[in-house]
Amino acid sequence: MKKGLLTIILIFFLTNIIVSNEKDSLMQVYLSDASAQDKVLALLKLSNLQKNTDSYTSIDNAIKAIEIAEKIPDKVYLIRSYSKLGILYKDLDSMDKALESYLKGLEIAKETNNIVWQSNLLNSLGSAYIQYGQNKIALKYFKQAYELALKQNDSTGISNVLNNIGVVFWRKNEIDSSFKYIHESMLISRNLKDSVGLISSFNNLGMLQAELGNSKRALGYFNQALRFAEILDDKWETANILNNLSQLNLDLGNLEKVESDLKKAVEISIAIKSSLLESDSYRNLSNYYSRIEDYQKSLEYYKKYSELNMKLVNEETSEKIANLEKDFELRSKDRNLEKLSEANQIQYYLILLLASSLVLVGILIFIYFRKYTENKRLTEELKKKNTDLERFSEERNKFFTLISHDLKAPIYNISNLSNLMKMYSYDMSKDEQDTTLDQLNISSKQLLTLVDNILLWAKTQIGNMENNPEPLHVNAVIAESIDILRSNAAEKNITLLNKSDRTNDIHISADYNLLSTSIRNLLTNAIKFSHENQEVIISTKLAENQIKIEVTDTGVGISKEMQEEIRKGNASTTLGTNNEKGSGLGLRITKEFIEMNEGKITLESQEGVGTTFSIIFPYK
């Protein structure tokens, strides 16, 4: 037993030494006076060796290979480099960058009529679109790849495409068709002794058999896939198969190796920086510990799964917003090109008219200048409208971004926390239950405040906000606002002090709802950015035919850059001193409401000292 263990350790160290020496040799080729072709091949092989241990260095080396390959006449080196970069990004779950790399490689393959690489890259594009859930688009690419591979009699390419087509049919819940394609792919890979192809086919067949309830066959396929993945040291596939195998063993009640397999999957996922695989492992570990009634660990891993899954959702949302922005920019460019084409056509016809008759030169010149003046006026108007449209579009995109982050977060927290209470309340202590309920209460308040502000902002944008000025007793409105927010302040042990001028019976003409909402927004903001046990002071002053309402805190203060953004009316998300969420819409709404009532709002702040917002109305 000891000899066997020593042999394994010795093999492990010798393998590491060999790999390390190979990496050093490849780096020497890159740094030497070798040909550009040899340097590209060395960088690609080095990138492949590094992908399981240092993903970002692996990507850097693939990018270096692209830079060198761009100068090589034979474009197959450039195609290979883009394909490798796409694979590396796909393993890191950066699907947008993977697609971009595959498309660049495919474009060059088409330009150089390289059929084999066209087939390979079309297959890779289809795989990426499967990850996006775009089965129809994926199937289109796979069919194109299959036709090209068939034309070239490329058995490996045919096998890969058939396997991927099987995955598409599986996602469409057409199990029989899926099994037919994947099984045929496996037979071709077995004849070719293609270990890489067998890993994917065996893993997919295992998933299919598990879904059909054929557990014994599923275990056999998973174990074969795992054996090949470990032989090839394919970390991503190893972690993926361990997750699938553990899920099946959990369902069957075979719990002996589940914990060790899943912890190994977590370790690999972290090493190769695959958040998706790491998230799956945490979810399975939570289910495992729940199965053996270790609810504390089950809750711990469920929280890890929830946090990581939330991060993945946010990244996906950001990618979607970025894609929308790119689409808008492309549409804008198309419209501008159309306008330019029309302008050139008009100018062309004018020149023809001028050349056709010298008799009408004077009249045509007059018409031309009149037309030019009119076009100039219309162009200026069009520019102004385009500027307004771009500003509106920018505000709209900012608004959507705010919603995607700030509206989703409290809803997600409420869903998760309520789910935790439902699943584990009987195993929670009284303190844990109280803490969870407090978090639910905070998230629901954040959601209510954000929804209120969104509805108010929407009303102002469509001109549906009522404004009914009436004589108001300022001190009474302030007192009511303080009473409403006293419980919010109490959560941070913050004192709300009313130092209004009580010697004068101050009245102003304003809409009650707009004024009270504005005061509450400023008080809420002051509470948010004040530390525990501090004071927030609201006061009124009457001077020089003006009534000034001031809200002062001694909290974190606002940077000069952020002050300028606030004065411009730009909303932005900022966390409070207790990590309170906020969209920044409150200040924007307050500014608009006060201006609707012939008032203005000013800001004075110093970082680390505090902030004072002032509402100023003319006093008649």
Choose the weakest-confidence range: 40-54, 422-436, 525-539: 422-436
Residue 570 pLDDT? 65
Q: Do domains 1-113 and 466-618 have the same CATH topology?
A: no
Give the span between the Cα atoms of 449 and 417, in whole angstroms. 19
Residue 248 has, within 13 A of its CA and on its CB side, a CA count of 25
Give the span between the Cα atoms of 68 and 586, in whole angstroms. 52
Residue 90 pLDDT? 79
Give the span between the Cα atoms of 208 and 201, in whole angstroms. 11
Residue-by-residue DSSP string for 360-373: THHHHHHHHHHHHH
Which of 535 and 481 is assigned the larger pLDDT?
Answer: 535
Is the separation of the CB atoms in 65 and 45 below 8 Å? Answer: no
Residue 23 pLDDT? 75
Tell me, what DSSP letter sits at residue 608? Answer: T
Q: Are strands 546-553 and 470-473 parallel, antiparallel or unpaired?
A: unpaired
- Ordered by start, the domain boundaries in the chain are 1-113, 316-460, 466-618
Give the span between the Cα atoms of 395 and 400, in whole angstroms. 9
Give the span between the Cα atoms of 236 and 199, in whole angstroms. 11
Q: What is the pLDDT of residues 281-325, one digit of tens each?
A: 888 888 888 888 888 888 888 888 888 877 765 555 444 434 433
Q: What is the pLDDT of residues 430-462, one digit of tens each?
A: 776 777 676 667 667 656 666 666 666 566 555
User: Which percentage of the chain shows pLDDT scores above 70?
Assistant: 69
Give the span between the Cα atoms of 294 and 285, in whole angstroms. 11
Compute the mean pLDDT over every residue in the chain, rounded to the nearest whole number. 77
State the amino acid at position 183 in one-letter form: H
Give the span between the Cα atoms of 65 and 568, in whole angstroms. 46
Give the span between the Cα atoms of 124 and 557, in whole angstroms. 51
Residue keyed to tokens 């946010």: 314
Tokens of 201: 């086919």
Mean pLDDT of 134-147: 87
**Which stretch, 421-425, 436-440, 573-577, has highest mean pLDDT?**
436-440
**Which of 443, 458, 436 lies closest to 408 in space, CA to CA?**
443
Residue 343 C-alpha from the chain's centroid: 41
Q: What is the pLDDT of residues 468-494, one digit of tens each?
A: 888 888 888 888 888 888 877 888 899
Give the span between the Cα atoms of 206 and 214, in whole angstroms. 9
Q: Which long-range contacts (CB under 8 A, 24 or more apart) does 541-546 make?
A: 541/501, 542/501, 542/504, 542/506, 542/619, 545/618, 545/619, 545/620, 546/616, 546/617, 546/618, 546/619
Residue keyed to tokens 């096998």: 159
Residue 8 pLDDT? 37
pLDDT at 86 over 80: yes
Q: Which CATH architecture has domain 466-618?
A: 2-Layer Sandwich (3.30)
362 to 351, 352, 359: CA distances (angstroms): 14, 15, 8
Mean pLDDT of 263-268: 90
Residue 614 C-alpha from the chain's centroid: 37
Mean pLDDT of 66-75: 90
Angle, helices 430-461/408-424, rounded to nearest 10 degrees? 150
Residue 295 pLDDT? 85
Residue 574 pLDDT? 66
Mean pLDDT of 107-120: 91
Residue keyed to tokens 């302040």: 489
pLDDT at 552 over 90: yes
Instruction: With H, G, I as helix, E, B as strand and everything else as coil, classify residue 593.
Output: helix
Q: Answer left, alpha or beta for residue 133, where phi above 0 means left and psi between -120 and 50 means alpha.
A: left
Tell me, what DSSP letter sits at residue 404? Answer: I
Is the separation of the CB atoms in 164 and 126 below 8 Å? Answer: yes
Give the span between the Cα atoms of 588 and 144, in whole angstroms. 52
For 280, residues 6+ apart whose C-beta sits below 8 A from its C-beta are 243, 265
**Which stretch, 7-11, 290-294, 588-592, has highest mean pLDDT?**
290-294
Is the separation of the CB atoms in 93 and 112 below 8 Å? Answer: no
Residue 612 pLDDT? 94
Residue keyed to tokens 């058995």: 155
Residue 250 has, within 13 A of its CA and on its CB side, a CA count of 22
Tokens of 241: 């198969």
Tokens of 555: 């909290």
pLDDT at 119 over 70: yes
pLDDT at 572 over 90: no
Tokens of 330: 């492309």
Helix (H) or strand (E) holding 172: none
Residue 363 pLDDT? 66
pLDDT at 521 over 60: yes
Give the span between the Cα atoms of 487 and 494, in whole angstroms. 10
Mean pLDDT of 146-159: 89
Mean pLDDT of 83-99: 82
Residue keyed to tokens 């090493």: 271
Give the strands of the sheet with 600-606, arranged side by side: 495-498, 535-543, 546-553, 610-618, 600-606
Mean pLDDT of 382-408: 58
Q: What is the pLDDT of residues 219-238, one digit of tens each?
A: 999 999 999 989 988 888 89
Tokens of 39: 């340097």
Residue-by-residue DSSP string for 489-539: HHTTT-EEEE----SS--EEEE-HHHHHHHHHHHHHHHHHTSPTT-EEEEE
How many helices (H) and strands (E) the chain has is answered by 22, 7
Residue 431 has, within 13 A of its CA and on its CB side, a CA count of 0
Tokens of 8: 């394994």
Q: Which CATH architecture has domain 1-113?
A: Alpha Horseshoe (1.25)
Residue 191 pLDDT? 92
65 to 72, 83, 85, 324, 614: CA distances (angstroms): 11, 11, 10, 31, 59
Q: Are strands 535-543 and 610-618 parallel, antiparallel or unpaired?
A: unpaired
Residue 129 pLDDT? 82
Residue 357 C-alpha from the chain's centroid: 63
460 to 387, 457, 466, 469, 536: CA distances (angstroms): 20, 5, 9, 16, 29
Is the separation of the CB atoms in 402 and 571 below 8 Å? Answer: yes
Mean pLDDT of 113-126: 89
State the amino acid at position 579 in one-letter form: N
Give the span between the Cα atoms of 535 and 495, in whole angstroms. 5
Residue 404 C-alpha from the chain's centroid: 10
Residue 86 C-alpha from the chain's centroid: 19
